[in-house]
Amino acid sequence: MNLTAIIACKDRFQNLEYCIRSIATANSIPQVIIVDFGSVEHINQLAEKYQWLSVINVSNNTSMFHKTRALNIGIRAAKTKFVCLTDVDQLFQPNFFDVVFQTLIHNIDAFVRCETHFLPSLPAGVYPNQVNHDMYFKLLKIVMKTATKKPHGEGCCHGIAKDRLLEINGHDEDYIGWGFEDKDLATRLVAAGAQTTWVTQKTSMIHLPHKRNEKYFAPVTRNKNEKLYKNKLSNLEIVANKTTQWGML
């Protein structure tokens, strides 16, 4: 499969185990790059289990998670024609990466998106090694009955040709902390000619519950990013990071 799933993480080891197990039991498995952005717990052991998985360890300036920089590092490292920027907190329907890949190879300009279902809490007794086809659909039934919010998700699935990301210099690394970085990327990709293609009717994802880092998710951080996005939107520049090197370790 000429596709790389790129996942950035920092100290989210339990959800990462669920996520990787979900990929390992998929109908078709992409290449996977995990960008470990200064996690306390060493995660390289995961790469030893799966030949399709590699880990990039980032140790420089990692006190606060910088998602845009982390994903850019993964984008630069990917060696496949297509990439799928996704999230460490995701479980994937077994056909997920098949759907993403087939959509991309049938339309080189496609920008593949998919909403995600939000699981309020993980049922007791569900461990990473139990995640498989049957377990995924059991969890999907649970989340559809118990979810407190509708499926959505701005950045849980960005499937695109790698060259398109290189043309716009990837994610804008001026976004630090949570909010609007994915919306910014989507806006610039579409302005550059990418064609948004939703695959929510063909496949699905489940977003796992997790704690929120107070600094990363702080309202002041989100407000700052929203202001940046609105300012950029008023005078849209498709290419980001023009004056700085991007995706650097």
Q: What is the pLDDT of residues 222-239, one digit of tens each?
A: 999 999 999 999 989 999
Residue 28 or 48, more confident: 28
The predicted structure's pLDDT at residue 216: 85
The 3-state secondary structure of 194-235, one letter per residue: CEEEECCCCCCEEECCCCCCCCCCCHHHHHHHHHHHHHHHHC
The total of other beta-carbon atoms located within 10 Å of residue 242's CB is: 8
pLDDT at 146 over 80: yes
pLDDT for position 227: 97
Phi, psi of 125, rounded to the nearest 5 degrees: 85, 10
Mean pLDDT of 152-175: 95
Please report, for the chain, the start and end positions of each structural domain, with discontinuous segments joined by +.
Answer: 3-234
pLDDT digits (tens, 9 = 90+) for 86-125: 999 999 999 999 999 999 999 999 999 999 999 999 888 8
Percent of the chain residues topping a pLDDT of 70: 100
In angstroms, rounded to a whole number, what is the distance separating the alpha carbons of residues 146 and 142? 6
- The mean pLDDT value of the chain amounts to 94
Position of tokens 């695109």?
160
**Res 214 pLDDT > 90:** no
| DSSP letters spanning 129-157 | GG-SHHHHHHHHHHHHHH-SS-SB-SSS-
Average pLDDT over residues 172-190: 96
Q: Does residue 42 have a pLDDT over 80?
A: no
Paired tokens of 80: 């496949």
Assess whether pLDDT exceeds 80 at residue 181.
yes
**CA pair distance 135, 64, nearest whole angstrom:** 34
CATH superfamily ID and name for 3-234:
Spore Coat Polysaccharide Biosynthesis Protein SpsA; Chain A (3.90.550.10)
Query: Please, are residues 46 and 16 in contact by the beta-carbon 8 Å criterion?
Result: yes
